Amino acid sequence: MRLILFIGPPGSGKGTQAQCLAQELGYHHLVMGDLLRQEIQAQTPLGQKIQPLLEAGLLVPDELVIDLVAHHLQNGADYILDGFPRTVPQAQALDRLLNEKGASLQTVIFLDVPEEELMGRLLKRSELEGRTDDNPETIQRRLVEYRQKTQPLLDFYEARGLLRRISGVGSIPQITERIKKAMEMC
Ligand code: ADP
């Protein structure tokens, strides 16, 4: 079982890049935001609980997302995790999970995009896709959540030599190339 993580602020393009790389490597692309939105759409008890949080741009409690990931990781398969972990406790839970399975992390890709650019990208996406959490107020809240809770993860993985910082500014193929180059160094 091999695992690659994608970390980046909302609007960094990690979904697009993670999907490209997953296809190329033949890994499963597990998207935490999609798993949560599916729960909401199916109106499961979990979905009903988390809907107000997603709509407000707040992170879902760690224990809920940890359970969801544990449920979706199959032994023996390879994964790109997109949007998980987003907090240090989530990263520690992932370590425990991988220990149990005798698996370890291959690399962590961090897509770096300046905050001034993120707001513009997300507002444009709201026009195209109509995601209810892509409005100015909610975007601000998601950026604050990212800064406070997800950014500390960068030090967590850097200390372990797993982090690859990639500039997420440029064309989609340019960024894909940068990621592939960084992967060759693993
Ligand atoms: P974005 O990266 O643009 O914010 P996502 O689709 O990855 O979009 O996430 C949408 C929302 O789903 C987040 O704002 C948050 O409420 C919730 N979410 C996704 N991943 C996690 C996670 N690992 N922990 C807690 N909440 C999460």
**pTM beyond 0.85, yes or no:** yes
Concerning whether 96 is annotated as a catalytic residue, the answer is: no
Concerning whether 125 is annotated as a catalytic residue, the answer is: yes
* Structural domain spans, the chain: 2-176
How close is the Cα of 33 to the center of ligand 1, in Å?
Answer: 5
Q: Is the CB of 53 under 6 A from ligand 1?
A: yes
Averaged pLDDT for residues 73-90: 95
The alpha carbon dihedral of 40, 42, 47, 51 has a sign of positive
Least confident of 79-83, 90-94, 117-121: 117-121
In this predicted structure, the answer to whether residue 135 has a pLDDT above a threshold of 90 is: no
Question: Residue 100 CB: number of other CB atoms within 10 A?
Answer: 9
CATH of domain 2-176: 3.40.50.300
Rounded Cα–Cα distance for residues 102 and 76 (Å): 10
Rounded Cα–Cα distance for residues 118 and 114 (Å): 7
